[in-house]
Amino acid sequence: MATSTPAAGRRRPYAPRVSEDVRRTQLLDAALRLVVSRGHGAATMAAIADEAGVTKPVVYSMYANRGDLLGALLKREQELAMAQMLSILPPGAGKDGLVDWGQSFADIFIGFLEAVRDAPDRWRCVLLDVSGMPEEFHATRAKIRGQIIKRLTGIVDKTLKRSTATEVDAEVLTHALMAVFESSAALVVKHPRKFPPARFAGTMNAVIDSLLT
C-alpha cells in the first residue's frame, strides 16, 4: 500500500523569480512584520525566509547576514519616515516661518498623525522601543530626530518673530512640540480606534494659539 510523504519531508516550493529590488522589498517587509510583532530577536534569517515564503539561501543572496538585513531595514524606514515628515511641512516654511500658525500647525500635526496611521508598522519601528532593539537603531533614530528638531526650530523661531510671544524660547518650544508629536503618534499606533488623528486637532490648536497670541 502506498504511503504519503510526511509534510515535514516535503521541499519548500521555489519562490517565483522576481527582480532583485522586488525581492529585497519582500524581505525587508517580512523583517519589519517580525520586528514589530515579535521583537528584533525574532527576526532571524530563517524566520525572515519563512515569513517571506522563500528559502534561506534566497535571503543570504540578498543580504550577507542578519545585521546587514536589519541595518537595511532601519535605513529604509528612517528615510521613509523622514520623507513623510518633510513632505507635510508647508512650502517655504524653513525660510519664512508660518504665516498662519494655527492653520499651518493643524495641517502639519494632522498630516503627521495621518502618516503614522497609514504606516503603523513603520512608525512603531521608528518611534517605539521594540523588544531587543539593537544599539544602532537607537543611534540612528536619535540622529534623525536631531535633524527634524533642527529644521523645526528654524521654522518655530521665524514664526515666533511674527507673534507677540516675545518670551517663548524657540528651541524649548520645538522640543515640547516634538514630545507632543511623538506621544500622540504612540497613541495613534497603539490605540488607533480610540485616538484617531482628528481627535487631537482642536486641543492642540487651542494650546498653540494661547502661546503665540
Highest mean pLDDT, choosing among 14-18, 28-32, 130-134, 183-187: 28-32
d(CA 101, CA 212): 8
Amino acid identity for residue 88 in this structure: I
Task: Tell me the fold of 73-212.
Answer: Tetracycline Repressor; domain 2 (1.10.357)
Class of the domain covering 13-63: mainly alpha
Task: Kindly list the domain boundaries of the chain, sorted by start residue.
Answer: 13-63, 73-212
Judged against a pLDDT cut of 80, whether residue 172 lies above it is answered with yes
pTM of this prediction?
0.72
Interatomic CA distance for residues 17 and 8, integer angstroms: 24
Let me know: does 164 contact 213? Beta carbons within 8 Å: yes
pLDDT greater than 70 at residue 8: no
Residues 6+ apart with CB under 8 A from 134: 40, 67, 70
Spatial separation of the C-alpha atoms in residues 203 and 197, rounded to whole Å? 12
CA angle 142, 92, 100 (to 5 degrees): 100
Q: What is the reported pLDDT for 101?
A: 64
Cell of residue 22, nine digits: 522586488
Confidence of residue 15 (pLDDT cuts 50, 70, 90): low
Closest CA to 33 of 20, 47, 16, 22: 47
Q: What is the rounded distance in angstroms from the CA atom of residue 148 to the CA atom of residue 177? A: 11
Cα–Cα distance between 49 and 31 in angstroms, integer? 9
Q: Say whether pLDDT at 6 is over 50.
A: no
Based on its alpha-carbon atoms, the radius of gyration of the chain, rounded to whole angstroms, reads 22
